[in-house]
Structure formats: C-alpha cells, structure tokens
Structure 1
Amino acid sequence: MKTKTALITGSTSGIGQATALKLAHDGVRVVVSGRDDQRGLEVVEQIRAAGGTAHFVGADLRDARSAAELAAKATAVAESAGGSLDILVNNAAIGAGGPTAGTEESTFDSVLATNLKAPFYLVANIAPAMAARGGGAIVNVSTLAAQRALPGLAVYGASKAALDLLTRSWAAEFGAAGVRVNSVSPGPTRTPGAEAGLGEMLQQLAEQAPLGFVADPEDIAAAIAFLAGDGARFVTGAVLDVSGGRTVV
C-alpha cells in the first residue's frame, strides 16, 4: 500500500475522513476531497502530523464536468509524486430524507447527481487508466437503505441501490483488466450528518440489529480499507454489509 495513491470523495468529515486517516496510516498517499476547503485542509494537516502524506483538492460533485475535473486534478497529484491513482473511494453523498409527496424536484436531482452521476463519471475518467496499468481498486460507499426499505429514505435509498448495481456492472466491465470494484454498505453510523438528520432514531435503528449499537466511522473505514487493499485481491462485485447484522433480521 505504501506506493499507492487514493482519492476519497467527501473526506472532510465522517466516514470519508476516517477512511482518509486509515489509508494514510496504512501508508497510502491520500487525496482528500470535499466542498469545505477549511475542513479539508484540517484533515490534511491531521494526516501529515501523524506522518502520512495527503493533499486536498476541493470539489462540489454535481455533474460529469465536476467529476472529470476532480479526476484530472487527483491524477496530477498522484503523478507529481511519481505514482498513479490506484484507489478510488466514492463516498461523497447527499442523504436527503422525507416523504415522497413532499420531495422537491431540485432535491431529487441533487441526490441523484451527487450520489450516482458523480461516481459514474469519476469511474469513467479513472478506471480506464487503472485498467491500462493492469490494476486498481474502487470502493463505493452505499447504505443499508439500499437493501432495506426505510420510510422517508426513498430517493436516497434508490440512488444507492443504483450505485450497488453499478458496482457489479463495473466489476464485470473492468475485472479482466485487474480492476476490482466493490461496495461497502454501512448501517447506522455516528457521523455528523447522521446525527443531525436522524437524531434519536440513529440509536433506534441500531437496536434493530443483532449487535445493537451505533457504528463509529472508523468501523466503516476499516471495511473500506480492506476492500481497497491487496488482502481483498480475490474480491470484486461484492456489497459488504457493515450494519451490525441488520440485513439478517
């Protein structure tokens, strides 16, 4: 892992930040990305203070153009260090919720643009180069709501269910060239966004699973790091549940 570079979208907080810290701890050069420059630079400084290597590239992933621009900038960062972009973690997402009848079209469009269109075009701009080099790892961050119907999360769940389908499609498309594509499907996780959006419901959802507790972002980051690493070299097209067992009950 020490010669690899990873781009992690939405890595200025929560699961993305924990993943950036984990991969950097494992020796990966990390490209931190997000909309908030200040928070992004703070994550970079945190990584560097611990002896890791990191750079920040700001991005507001809304469309194909913004995805292509981020891919180009992250690739340039990797190449400036004498390497290549070997790992992509599609983590950036909008977690909008609410009843179907009250969902504004602008909200629907924003969720699909960030959660589905942006990952699609990031892969379109990054995976071919991975394939040409004969290897790479892509990890998409999904959600329990893509597999279990949760009231009020129709659009969010649908966007992530589509991302899981893309995971399998990309695994088939790029597998022969050595590029692995997998998803991690978190259950209730104690992130700033989840706590703000779900409040007490976060604990209630966790109690419905066999393990019964809310995950920390580091729990999800560990699963992402596994799928991104060489220890998972025979794993592709998988959706790894990290939900405390919620999908079995």
Structure 2
Amino acid sequence: MSHLEDPARPLTGRRALITGASRGIGADIARAYAASGADLVLTARDATALEGPARRLAEEHGVRAAVLAADLADPEVPDRLWQQASDVLDGPERLDVLVNNAGISHPESIQELRTDHFDETLQINLRAPSLLAARAGAAMADSGGGAIVTIASAAALRPLPEHYAYSVAKAGLVMATRTLALELGPHGVRANSICPTVVLTDMGRTVWGDQPAKAAPMLARIPQDRFAQPHEVSDVAVWLASGAASMVNGVDVPVDGGYLVS
C-alpha cells in the first residue's frame, strides 16, 4: 500500500467504472470499492436496477455513485462508454479505474454448440471488454495513468468442459490484458486480470453450490476443497486498483484455492 493511502479506505480519491454491477461479482466489487472510498459509475443493461444500490452505497460510504445503462452486446457501446462514464459524475475529475466485469455464459458441450451462443459470448466477453479497455486505457494514458482490472476466469488458463466459447473468450481477454500492460505501462496505466474459480454468487450457488453431483468433480480439483466467495474476488480487485499494487502490471491473479496447480 502507498504510504499516502488510508489503509481502511485505500481507493479514496479514485473514480471507477464497474461494468455488470447489478449483481454477482460486479455488485460485490461495487460494495468493496465504495467501502474503500472510490467514487463509482455503475453500469448494467438495466440502469434502473442499479439506482437503489448506488444510492445506498453513496449514503453509507460517503462517496459519489452514478449509474449508466450499457448493453455490451451493442457493438457501438464500448467505443463511447468510457467518455459517457467520465461525464456522468458531478465535477470535472477524470475516471482512473476500469473494472471490466460484465460477462455471460452458455454452458454446452462442443457437440451441442450453437453458433449464436458462441458469437454472443465472444461479443460480450471478449470484444466489448477488450475495446472498452483499449479506449479507457488510451484516455488514462493521455491524462496521467490509471488501472484496468479485468475479471477473467480460471477457465482462461485451464480448459473447462461445456465452456468452449466462454474459455476461448476469457483466454483472449487475458492476452488482451497483457498487451494493454505492455503498451500502456510506460504511460502510467496498469492492466491486470483476476481469474477466479467458481464463485458462489446467487448464480454460482444455483449452478454449482446447490448441485452436489455437478460440483463434486470440480471441488476434487481444488486443494482448498471449496468454491470462492464474492468478497475474495472483490478484495483482490481493490488491491489491484490501489497503491499497494503500484508495481503489479500484466499479471493474471488466480483466485482459485489452488485449482490451477492441482
């Protein structure tokens, strides 16, 4: 942590855009960033779903929180979203953190793979966040630096059955993050990714936590013998945006209980 940072609120003075913030990991990162002192712009397809949570975060933590509707399936959205997010907070300050979190999954075997599911997954999980990070990173480079934190997946680093399109997209996103780190690092922009195993969000509990037969083979490959909790991803996302990670750039951080070494 930088010696200038409050250890209880290490993101004070930072302004972050968080995509896919209405539920799951994105919602928990929004909570953690607000508790750490960051001003927020939260996006989701339906901005109305974010208005109540944004208001509560602002009131509870004394930060500013704005919302924007952003459908990352729209091919034009990534090019303009960073500028829209920069304009929506009151005041002239620039945004300096991007949390690239939004994503989808269509679990299916390769034999059952649907072309429309493949295309949609790459559109939302690879094209949109890669372009958004490029536009945000270029703007950060022009204005003094910043941090890009991308939520990838352990499936980017180790293949996962019935997640062909998802694994392909997340692997591409990891390489996009490394390239951003390489090109933009000299301009004060750090780019890193987080690669979680299964995270027990509401969706994760439904798909994995409430289905012991499905979960057992995956748990058998995790030395800690459990899935991740949302805050275990959010804590890393806070750290990567903070001064404590000022020399961390181009890294893929597994939050997987040892899954990738088993």
- TM-score, normalized by length of structure 1? 0.94
Matched to 2:86, the amino acid is: T
Map 1:32-181; keep pairs closer than 5 Å: 32-51=42-61, 52-78=63-89, 80-181=90-191
Equivalent residue number for residue 8 of structure 2: none
Q: Deviation digits for residues 75-114 of structure 1, max 9, x if unmatched? A: 1024x32311100011000111101121211111100000
Distance in 1 separating the partners of 2:101 and 2:188: 22
Distance in 1 separating the partners of 2:215 and 2:54: 29
Matched to 2:242, the amino acid is: G
Distance in 2 separating the partners of 1:55 and 1:159: 29
* Partner-residue secondary structure (3-state), 2:76: helix
Distance in 1 separating the partners of 2:219 and 2:40: 31
Aligned identity (percent) is 33
Equivalent residue number for residue 5 of structure 2: none
Alpha carbons 1:186, 1:241 under 8 Å: kept: yes
Equivalent residue number for residue 254 of structure 2: 241
* Partner-residue secondary structure (3-state), 1:11: coil
Alignment RMSD (CA, Å): 1.5
Instruction: Give, in angstroms, the shift of residue 63 of structure 1.
Output: 4.1
Distance in 2 separating the partners of 1:188 and 1:90: 18
Alpha carbons 2:31, 2:57 under 8 Å: kept: yes
- TM-score, normalized by length of structure 2? 0.90
After TM superposition, the structure 1 stretch with the greater mean CA deviation from structure 2, 80-89 or 194-203, is 194-203
Distance in 2 separating the partners of 1:114 and 1:95: 10
Aligned pair 1:226/2:239, yes or no? yes
Unaligned 5+ runs, structure 2:
1-10
Matched to 1:19, the amino acid is: I
Distance in 2 separating the partners of 1:144 and 1:120: 18
Distance in 1 separating the partners of 2:172 and 2:114: 20
Distance in 2 separating the partners of 1:203 and 1:135: 44
Equivalent residue number for residue 183 of structure 1: 193
Alpha carbons 1:194, 1:202 under 8 Å: kept: no
Unaligned 5+ runs, structure 1:
none
Instruction: Give, in angstroms, the shift of residue 204 of structure 1.
Output: 4.8
After TM superposition, the structure 1 stretch with the greater mean CA deviation from structure 2, 114-123 or 46-55, is 46-55
Instruction: Give, in angstroms, the shift of residue 203 of structure 1.
Output: 5.9
Instruction: Give, in angstroms, the shift of residue 207 of structure 1.
Output: 4.2
Instruction: Give, in angstroms, the shift of residue 242 of structure 1.
Output: 0.4
Instruction: Give, in angstroms, the shift of residue 149 of structure 1.
Output: 1.7
